[in-house]
Structure 1
Amino acid sequence: MSLFKAASLISLLTLASRITGLMRELLMASAFGASAMTDAFNVAFRIPNMLRRLFAEGAFSQAFVPVLAAAKEKDGEAATKVMIDHIATVMAWALTATCVLGVAGAPILVWALAAGLQQDPAGFEAAVFMTRWMFPYIAFMSLVALSAGILNTWKRFAVPAATPVLLNLAMIAAAWWGAPWFASLGINPIYAMAGGVMLGGALQLGVQIPALRALGLLPRIHWRWAGLRDAWRHPGTRRVTTLMLPALLGVSVAQVSLLINTQIASHLRTGSVSWLSYADRLMEFPTALLGVALGVVLLPQLAAAKAQDDAERYSGLLDWGLRLVVLLAVPSAVALLTFAQPLVAVLYHYGAFTDADVRQTALALMGYGLGLLGLVAIKVLAPGYYASQDIRTPVKIAIVVLVFTQLLNLAFVPWLAHAGLALSIGLGALLNAGWLLVGLLRRGAYRPGPGWWRFVLQVVAASAMLAIYLLWAGTGLGWLAAPGAAWARVLQLLLVLGGAATLYFVVLLLGGVKLREFVRK
């Protein structure tokens, strides 16, 4: 499977995940709006999600995939399977201890993440209760990350990309059927969402097992102490652990930033945490469809190129990824900046979600949108370092960016409230991506191909035409006028976005951009 086809497959499956994710958010927004209880759920769900990004999809994946790809290239599949068993064993023991500590320490975790919830004691207690129920979700997702790393390295991209749909379907069922049922029993209906999260985690892990078994790579976990001792002594385990330490610091920087921003938002107007969460869900569309898909495809290939000492292929992979980022992320950022309110209105403006909620969520979305190019480019540039098993450099950059982001918060939050938090993240992402790019250029690891400046001018010209069109569509049509006419507004949105995509790519073709080159490369 070519890189473009693999990335397209992952993007298509990720699109299904994001569509079902939006359905879940739409149901939650309609049923619960933006209230103290939704703030409590979002904080409780963010705790295992934060740890998932910190350990599972963050530090562990960054360390595990390059080591796994190198072992597959140099040692063969039999030795690699032994390494997988040992790493899975250490992970299982660590996850068991983590879950016990997390459930016991839930009040401390909620206070550390959102002390402002204590202004409403009922909201704080609800957040603690839901954190205890949802904390084991981190165990499911860590094992899913292990499975995804194996499957992606063996170029089996479909199952890992499709599994997030199962979480969304479980949460949709919880909002659609579980919440009314809980309400009929006199139980707060928001608690049904915690059950949906746990069901989704179990389903995501369950579908990985047949795929791993088909490859003969289903990990064998040793639960005896002697098995743990042997697993810990394996060189592959030691190498992943060694790489995880700086990776953990690097991912921690991003999560510390998220923790600080959530803490700040919890002290702002009621609903601020929810507005940011709803905007973040929309941001996941372009970042996942573009950045995550490219990162998943490129990291094993970059690691293999490094293991084979193929500098030309390594640089060519980065060049292809960055051109695709510019081609697709720039118009996406333009759309978020010029068309944010119609997007939010069509997707969320139902039931308890008010006109004011639409405007506040749109402001946050615009702040994120300003840094979209950086957020997506990081997913291509950072693997350029991870593939070389250099995790320290991105960590150092991330620490400086954290300080920069919090300084921006001091300036923006008093002026823009919750939207200032999103804007700071966006600007910090641009700085991070620019710094990573300069580092690869200075090392000579990345050598840009010919025609970059002309390509950038072509994309900017097409994006300018796109901006004019979307500004007209955003102001000339009544997106907030009829919140009840759901299907009419959805159809209107699809027509506008279809016209926007057609306009953008037609202008590119007229400007001389050869889109087929991206497919061939």
Structure 2
Amino acid sequence: MSKKLIKSGLIVSFMTLVSRVLGLVRDVVIANIIGAGLASDVFFFANKIPNFLRRLFAEGAFAQAFVPVLSEYHSKDEADGLSLKEGETRKLIAQVSGTLGVIITIVTLIGMIASPLFVILFGFGWFVDWLNDGPKAQQFELAASLLKITFPYLWFVSFTALAGAILNTFGRFAVSSFTPVLLNVCIIGCAIYLSPLFDNPAFALAWGVFLGGLAQFLFQIPFLIKAGVFVKPQWAWHAKGVKKIRKLIVPALFGVSVTQINLLLDTLIASILVTGSISWLYYADRLLEFPLGLFGIGIATVILPSLAKLHTKQDKEEFSGTITWGLKIVSLFGWPALAGLMVLAQPIIMILFMRGEFSQETVLQVSYALFAYLSGLISFMFIKILAPAYYARQDTKTPVKIGIKAMAANMVFNLMLAPFFGYVGLAIATAMSATLNALMLYHGLKSNNIFVLSKATWWFFARLIFSAGIMAVVVFTLSPPFNVWLAMGTTLQIQQLLICITLGILSYFISIAALGIRVKDFKVKVTEK
């Protein structure tokens, strides 16, 4: 099992790496065109709303409820010796796609028609200025217009996520991992070629989001046909499998999407703060998402179907061993990513974004938010591994209770910190609530004797943290002061950054090897004590 997990994890991580690199290129292009001001605040807002709903309806709660049920049906058909055409798996896919399709279509139409209401709800500061003819009135009107263009992305990407969940369950991880590349390509293309045609380049970026969703949706269809699971959707609200998913999905809406809800609350409060706050948080979050997506989400993608199958087989020991494997893998890469980004945050932001409308002052503002977000990086990664342990067992009630507590805590943290630290306080609050969420998820698994971290695993974590600390010292020693970075030419900046990263990574792996960590430590162990 561990070899299969590692192979699948490598495939997903590689595809995710390609997507994240293109995502950074996309953000570099956006930063160059619109910087971090009025237009960028509004575009990121208009992009965040459908993406937030995507997490709820598609990649988040829906996937966590759908995959275990689909795995159960598929395993039963295999056990009964039934082919896809003979079994219940294809029927379930048809029923789910039809039911989801109707719901998503209604939500998308409402979102497009009632876009001003969404802006009022999540950008209240702009709405108040609009009523009073204040300085942010233009942002309210622009956000409502952009949302009408970006909202259909929700429809496209919901079916993209459905197709991805189906293909992942059948062990075909590469396709769904590659599809985000198409979104980035479309946004980059529209930013370069369409933005000169608009008075406000934010409209070109919004159309890039629309076209990216369409491209992702169409790309998956041939692979569904090849897998034999491209079926005619049918409305089946009361079908047995759909009812089971419905029962699981309602609490999962909160449990798996707490981080996204927290980020949306940050956006709401940031709309009241100084112009640029939303953009500073966005760019910081994008850099955080690079290691989180590459390692945390990549491993979580392959973990859920595996855990669901192990639960169906009642293999409790390997179930626990697979969770341990996931935590070890994300920790192996998460701690050095945390250390490296902490030390090199400002030069990385400067090299990636500081051109065009993106100023030196913006580099500093983004770095402060990134420092705050990074304090919760490991917690974000652990949530991606621990939450599927509940959903694989078709337990969505426990995570929702935990999610509501974490979300309430985030609100309190926001109100406590934002008045004193502004947008940085919002990032700190998000990191704190994520840590609380991860701790409660682990405590719930431990209390029910589902999963307990062994002493050997704790010692494994300690050695990784120590090694990451050594790496931080090495990188800090090699990295010149910020004003020296600024004085360098672009080529010299990149060379110096690559030296810091290369020697930092080298020092990290030498350290963990010296501390006794070996490849065998990453095998799924079913008898670890």
Q: Output the TM-score relative to the length of structure 2.
A: 0.93
The match for 1:26 is 28
Q: Show CA shifts across 1:366-397 (max 9, x none).
A: 11100001000000000010011001111111
Give the counterpart of 1:203 among 200, 211, 215. Answer: 215
Partner amino acid for 2:15?
L
Q: Distance in 2 between matches of 1:445 and 1:251?
A: 19
> How far did 1:475 drift?
4.1
5 Å matches for 1:281-300?
Answer: 281-300=286-305
Partner amino acid for 2:91?
V
Tell me which stretches of 4 or more aligned residues in structure 1 moved more than 6 Å: none
5 Å matches for 1:135-214?
Answer: 135-182=151-198, 187-214=199-226
Give the counterpart of 1:107 among 97, 116, 130. Answer: 116
> How far did 1:411 drift?
2.5
Give the counterpart of 2:446 among 441, 454, 461. Answer: 441
Q: Distance in 1 between matches of 2:200 and 2:315?
A: 58
**1:83 correspondence with 2:99:** no
Give the counterpart of 2:266 among 242, 261, 269. Answer: 261
**1:489 correspondence with 2:505:** no
Q: Distance in 2 between matches of 1:474 and 1:211?
A: 46
5 Å matches for 1:214-253?
Answer: 214-222=226-234, 228=235, 231-251=236-256, 253=258
> How far did 1:335 drift?
2.1
Q: Distance in 1 between matches of 2:482 and 2:411?
A: 37
Q: Distance in 2 between matches of 1:478 and 1:498?
A: 22
Any conservation in 1 of the 2:15–2:178 contact (CA below 8 Å)? yes
The match for 1:225 is none
Q: Distance in 1 between matches of 2:22 and 2:258?
A: 30
> How far did 1:489 drift?
2.1
Q: Distance in 1 between matches of 2:461 and 2:504?
A: 19
Partner amino acid for 2:16?
T
| SS, match of residue 456 in structure 1 | helix
**1:379 correspondence with 2:384:** yes
Any conservation in 1 of the 2:325–2:523 contact (CA below 8 Å)? no
Any conservation in 2 of the 1:342–1:479 contact (CA below 8 Å)? no
> How far did 1:491 drift?
3.0
Q: Distance in 2 between matches of 1:338 and 1:221?
A: 51
> How far did 1:443 drift?
1.4
> How far did 1:410 drift?
2.3
Please give the root-mean-square deviation of Cα atoms over the aligned residues, in Å: 1.7
Partner amino acid for 1:162?
F
Q: Show CA shifts across 1:406-434 (max 9, x none).
A: 22222221222111111111111111111
Unaligned runs of at least 5 residues, structure 1: 223-227
Cα distance, 1:499–1:93 mapped onto 2, change above 3 Å: same
The match for 1:432 is 437
> How far did 1:517 drift?
3.6
> How far did 1:472 drift?
2.5
Q: Distance in 1 between matches of 2:520 and 2:184?
A: 34
| SS, match of residue 274 in structure 2 | coil
Give the counterpart of 1:53 among 41, 46, 55. Answer: 55
Q: Show CA shifts across 1:219-258 (max 9, x none).
A: 3124xxxxx2xx2232111111111111123346444422
Q: Distance in 2 between matches of 1:405 and 1:96?
A: 31
Partner amino acid for 1:179?
S
Give the counterpart of 2:394 among 389, 392, 398. Answer: 389
> How far did 1:290 drift?
1.2
Any conservation in 1 of the 2:259–2:430 contact (CA below 8 Å)? no
Q: Show CA shifts across 1:89-138 (max 9, x none).
A: 11111122111111110000011111222432222211111100111100
Any conservation in 2 of the 1:479–1:489 contact (CA below 8 Å)? no
Partner amino acid for 1:494?
L
Any conservation in 2 of the 1:40–1:117 contact (CA below 8 Å)? no
Q: Distance in 2 between matches of 1:262 and 1:447?
A: 36
| SS, match of residue 450 in structure 2 | coil
Partner amino acid for 2:188?
I
Unaligned runs of at least 5 residues, structure 2: 79-83, 130-135
Q: Distance in 1 between matches of 2:484 and 2:103?
A: 50
Cα distance, 1:146–1:500 mapped onto 2, change above 3 Å: same
**1:452 correspondence with 2:464:** no
5 Å matches for 1:306-385?
Answer: 306-385=311-390
Any conservation in 1 of the 2:22–2:181 contact (CA below 8 Å)? yes
Q: Distance in 2 between matches of 1:174 and 1:495?
A: 34
| SS, match of residue 72 in structure 2 | helix
Cα distance, 1:478–1:11 mapped onto 2, change above 3 Å: farther
Give the counterpart of 1:416 among 413, 416, 421. Answer: 421
Please identify, of 303-312 and 247-256, the stretch whose mean Cα deviation from structure 2 is larger: 247-256
Cα distance, 1:482–1:18 mapped onto 2, change above 3 Å: farther
| SS, match of residue 232 in structure 1 | coil
The match for 1:407 is 412
The match for 1:471 is 476
**1:512 correspondence with 2:516:** yes
| SS, match of residue 92 in structure 2 | helix
Please identify, of 402-411 and 48-57, the stretch whose mean Cα deviation from structure 2 is larger: 402-411
Q: Output the TM-score relative to the length of structure 1.
A: 0.94
Any conservation in 2 of the 1:346–1:479 contact (CA below 8 Å)? no
Any conservation in 2 of the 1:137–1:198 contact (CA below 8 Å)? yes
Q: Distance in 2 between matches of 1:296 and 1:432?
A: 19
Partner amino acid for 1:189?
P
| SS, match of residue 2 in structure 1 | helix
Any conservation in 1 of the 2:39–2:202 contact (CA below 8 Å)? yes
Q: Distance in 1 between matches of 2:473 and 2:225?
A: 52
Cα distance, 1:520–1:101 mapped onto 2, change above 3 Å: closer
Q: Distance in 1 between matches of 2:69 and 2:46?
A: 33
> How far did 1:520 drift?
7.8
> How far did 1:516 drift?
4.6
Cα distance, 1:418–1:477 mapped onto 2, change above 3 Å: closer
| SS, match of residue 328 in structure 1 | helix
